[in-house]
Amino acid sequence: MESKQNRLTLPTSSKELLSELRRAYKELNTSDESDENFFSGEPERDFKEIMESLIEDATKNDVDKEELSIALHHEFPDAKNLIDQIIPLPKPKKRKIISPTAHYKDAYSVAEGLVSTGSLVQAIGLIVGFIAVVAGAVIGYSLGNSVVAQSQSFTAVGLLAGMLIGLFVGGGLYGLGVLISGLGQLLEANLDTAVNTAVVAEHFGA
């Protein structure tokens, strides 16, 4: 049991019992229905008794029981059912599987927040722009209409100036919203690349 596969060191007393167990295992494998001891189950009983003594001795000497079970199953594969009755294999520990996306959960939240904020700013920009254009046109028209005895040229200039100011304010907000959304979408694209790379590395050992 000190092979590369089972690096389990046993005390001297357990090694002696292991040698006896190997002999019993050999007899167990060579027994068939023609043997006089087959129906009495002596090879099986001897194997189990020696194995119980080996387990008791090994555990008294601080040998890990789970490692011992794995070693016995490897050493005596044809006696798996007998070994399971006394020292079954340890149940595999549940592995906590974490999705690659979970590692970037906060980053995805930030990206989604940027996209949502950008969309909101765009909507506000359209609304504010519309209101500013109308208000600017009204104010510009009123100012132009009151200058130099209601001169038509000043009225037109005032109307145009008010509309341009409204467009500038609304267009500026809308452009800011587009920029914020673009940053969020760029972050999402980078995160998708990182997640896909992590998945490939996990499956192919890259």
Give residue 32's pLDDT.
Answer: 52
Give residue 189's pLDDT.
Answer: 87
Q: Is the CB of residue 61 less than 8 Å from the CB of residue 11? A: yes
Give residue 92's pLDDT.
Answer: 67
**Residue 141 contacts by C-beta under 8 Å, 6 or more apart in sequence?**
155, 158, 159, 162
Token pair, residue 165, equals 């100011």
Give residue 201's pLDDT.
Answer: 46
> How many angstroms separate the CA atoms of 83 and 68, rounded?
11
Q: Is the CB of residue 155 less than 8 Å from the CB of residue 144? A: yes
Give residue 203's pLDDT.
Answer: 41
Give residue 96's pLDDT.
Answer: 56
Domain ranges of the chain: 12-86, 100-204
Q: Could you read off the pLDDT tens digit of each residue along the chain, which spans 206 residues?
A: 544 444 568 888 888 888 888 888 888 777 654 444 433 457 788 888 888 888 888 888 888 888 888 888 888 888 888 888 888 877 766 655 556 566 678 888 888 999 999 999 999 988 988 887 787 777 766 766 665 545 556 666 666 777 788 788 888 889 999 999 999 999 888 888 877 775 444 444 44
